[in-house]
Amino acid sequence: MKKLSIIFWVLTSFIIGGFFYFNYLISIPGPFSENKLVVVPKGASVVRTAYVLKSESIIDNPIIFRILAKIKAQDTKLHAGEFEFPAGASVAKVLEIIVSGKTYQRQLTIAEGLTVKQIFEKINEIEVLTGEISLKVKDGELLPDTYNYSKNDSKDSLVLRMRESMTKAIDELWETRQDGLPIKNKEQAIILASIIERETGIDGERGKVSSVFVNRLRKGMRLQTDPTVIYAMSNGYGEINRKLYTNDLKIDSPYNTYKNYGLPIGAISNPGIESIMAALNPEDTDYLYFVANGTGGHSFSKTLREHNNRVIEWKRFKKSQK
């Protein structure tokens, strides 16, 4: 009886000791001293995941990782993707991160006023995205914003989110439009917003710039805006490597608002929220003209005579800067 009692206490001590030792092993800091990104392959089993973590020096003992996952019934709840592990993360912390499914988020910021071609260039420069862009997208269909993405996301998935964001934005903002605008539908609102976006980057000016174009549309005047000519000349890229000349304004294109009345046939950029709001809610002005004022903004005029005087002032300013 005494012998059995001794054996019992030995076994109990062994079990208790093993429990505390196991907890020690899963709680001690890991072998890496800096934050580290590791990709857990899609469909990887707990054995495969433990091997990857070991090979990347995230954990020392893959068996301990597997046992812990089994004990916590999380061996079938591991997620794939790129994870960021903080320096010295314990086995328990590593398992927690993978089970959470919170993959490392990278970011791409798309500035207002870029064209689809320019946006696609940025996306194609991201090496961790997969596939090719196969979606057919027109200018005005992508919303400028900051987008999160993970390693091995497809390029199409990122473009799709940009397009869905623009659709949602214009659907919501369309309901806030002023009455009586010379704009028939959401597409025309985006076209006008795309021009406003390329004309000014100053928030306080957008409403005034919008009023000029809206007033011109109401009066049946040509819009006569340089960015539409640049768009036509650059074959939809949105930029040229020189200034515009008078002869450029004669280019034969449905985008050329110096030759054609009304809005161009499509957007010339991808406008941001502020420009869309300005297109749908222009300021109440009598302005029909505007020109750069030399300080990054514009001078607005009601008459052609006043506008011509402002143009002379602008030319004098440019000449004085040489």
Residues 115-174 pLDDT 10s: 999 999 999 999 999 999 999 999 999 999 999 999 989 999 999 999 999 999 999 999
Are 187 and 273 found together in one domain?
Answer: yes
DSSP state of 145: S
CB neighbour class for 18 (10 Å; exposed up to 12, middle 13-18, buried from 19):
exposed
| pLDDT at 6 (0 to 100) | 60
For 154, residues 6+ apart whose C-beta sits below 8 A from its C-beta are 129, 130, 131
For 257, residues 6+ apart whose C-beta sits below 8 A from its C-beta are 195, 222, 223, 224, 225, 228, 229, 263, 264
| pLDDT at 1 (0 to 100) | 56
Structural domain span for residue 290: 180-320
Does 159 reside within a domain?
yes
Are 208 and 291 found together in one domain?
Answer: yes
Does 125 reside within a domain?
yes
Whole-structure pTM value:
0.84
Average pLDDT, the chain: 92
Does 18 reside within a domain?
no
On the CB side of 15, CA atoms within 13 Å amount to 6
Say how far apart CA 116 and CA 238 lie, in whole Å: 9
| pLDDT at 4 (0 to 100) | 56
Are 119 and 95 found together in one domain?
Answer: no
Give the closest residue to 163 by CA, choosing from 269, 68, 270, 48: 270
CA distances from 244 to 83, 231, 260, 290 (A): 49, 12, 18, 17
**Helices and strands (H and E) in the chain: how many:** 11, 6
144 phi-psi bin (left φ>0, alpha ψ -120 to 50, beta other): beta
Does 59 reside within a domain?
yes
pLDDT digits (tens, 9 = 90+) for 209-236: 999 999 999 999 999 999 999 999 999 9
Say how far apart CA 223 and CA 158 lie, in whole Å: 34
Task: Quickly tell me which residue has 């927690």 as its tokens.
Answer: 96
| pLDDT at 3 (0 to 100) | 61
Are 194 and 315 found together in one domain?
Answer: yes
Are 186 and 292 found together in one domain?
Answer: yes
Does residue 28 contact residue 90 with C-beta atoms inside 8 Å? yes
Nearest 10 degrees: Cα torsion 60, 63, 69, 71: -130
Does 19 reside within a domain?
no
> How many domains does the chain fold into?
3
Report residues of the chain scoring pLDDT below 50.
none
Are 114 and 226 found together in one domain?
Answer: no
Are 147 and 221 found together in one domain?
Answer: no
Are 215 and 293 found together in one domain?
Answer: yes
